[in-house]
Amino acid sequence: MDLDSTATLNSGNKMPLLGLGTWRLNDRTADTIEAALKMGYRMIDTSGDYGTQPGIGQGLKQSGVRRDSYYLVTKVEEDDDAYGATKENLHQLDLGYTDLMLIHRPPREGVGEVLWQGLQKARDEGLTKDIGVSNYSVDQLKELADKSGETPAVNQIEWSPFGYSQQMLDYCKQNEIIIQAYSPLTRGERLDDETLGDIAQKHEMAPPLVILRWCLQIGVVPLVKANQPDHMRQNLRVFEFELDDDDMKRLNGLNEEFSSLSSKPMYLKA
Ligand SMILES: NC(=O)c1ccc[n+]([C@@H]2O[C@H](COP(=O)([O-])OP(=O)(O)OC[C@H]3O[C@@H](n4cnc5c(N)ncnc54)[C@H](OP(=O)(O)O)[C@@H]3O)[C@@H](O)[C@H]2O)c1
């Protein structure tokens, strides 16, 4: 596994294995994105409601990296007209297409069939290569697939060794849904965990690297936010070491359905 490695979606399209998150990215978004691309990041995750899309679009241009060499993920909100919101996102990003467009959260009623149809239309018109969801439970994934006749390519959910779901992992593997792990570093809240520290010391790596590596080895794609260039650079070292079976067992044992956003991850509440 290295920076050029990819995961294959149910459409056959490929996705990089590590993404840069941009929620609350600093106000120098364009420069940060340019620096990230130059360091080797190939996937950027954003959303219309992060306020970062114009800066990201600018940074992508500044980087000089070809459009087909980076992967852009963005989202529509549950109350949006999904097709119109896709166009608006593209306008803000100043791009012709996104690689992946997600429903940010399941709506209060139903599982978003109308939103899904809007995304299908956007995909049919070439505005996005793939479509998926975020914060969906296993039951919501099943219901959307049943009602629409199509399995989402991705479920983007909160995921760390302290908060994950084996049932979700198994379901997504069986149904060829890629899990993108958001807030994998628990927004810094659990980085001082003793077990994590032990394993990090053993590999002479910082604790965040152990979490990112754990994500990769269980087959999920981490999206990590980092403002600081040192953090950004350090996180790329995830490809330089490997966790052994004992490390994985210890990390798997840390699960307590922890969430840094709420009382538990949203997909476990539904
Ligand atoms: N779909 C959804 O509903 C949803 C919800 C939440 C998040 N997301 C996405 O997932 C992305 C990541 O999640 P997140 O931003 O919530 O949290 P996160 O990635 O778990 O944590 C970000 C924090 O970790 C710090 N950090 C990064 N690398 C580090 C390192 N090597 N050593 C020490 N600290 C490090 C960052 O510091 P600095 O910034 O100071 O470098 C920042 O304070 C978001 O930005 C967003 O794109 C999606």
What domains sit in the chain, N to C, each tagged with a CATH number? 6-268 (3.20.20.100)
Determine contact, residues 52/25, Cβ cutoff 8 Å: yes
The answer to whether the CB of 184 is under 6 A from ligand 1 is yes
94 C-alpha to ligand 1 centroid (Å): 24
183 C-alpha to ligand 1 centroid (Å): 5
Q: Provide the CB-side half-sphere exposure for 64 (13 A, CA).
A: 3
Distance of CA 184 to the CA centre of its chain: 9
Q: What is the pLDDT of residues 185-226, one digit of tens each?
A: 999 999 999 999 999 999 999 999 999 999 999 999 999 999
Pocket test for ligand 1, best of 162, 180, 225 (most atoms within 8 A of CB): 225
What pLDDT score was predicted for residue 27? 74
Q: What is the pLDDT of residues 104-119, one digit of tens each?
A: 999 999 999 999 999 9
97 is an active site residue: no
- Per the residue annotation, which of 41, 50, 70, 71 is the catalytic one? 50
Q: What is the pLDDT of residues 238-265, one digit of tens each?
A: 999 999 999 999 999 999 999 999 999 9
The answer to whether the CB of 43 is under 6 A from ligand 1 is no
pLDDT > 90: percent of the chain? 95
| Model-wide pTM > 0.75 | yes
Whose CA is closest to 179, among 197, 199, 201, 163? Answer: 163
CA separation for the pair 85, 50 (Å, rounded): 14
> Closest residue (by CA) to atom 8 of ligand 1?
182
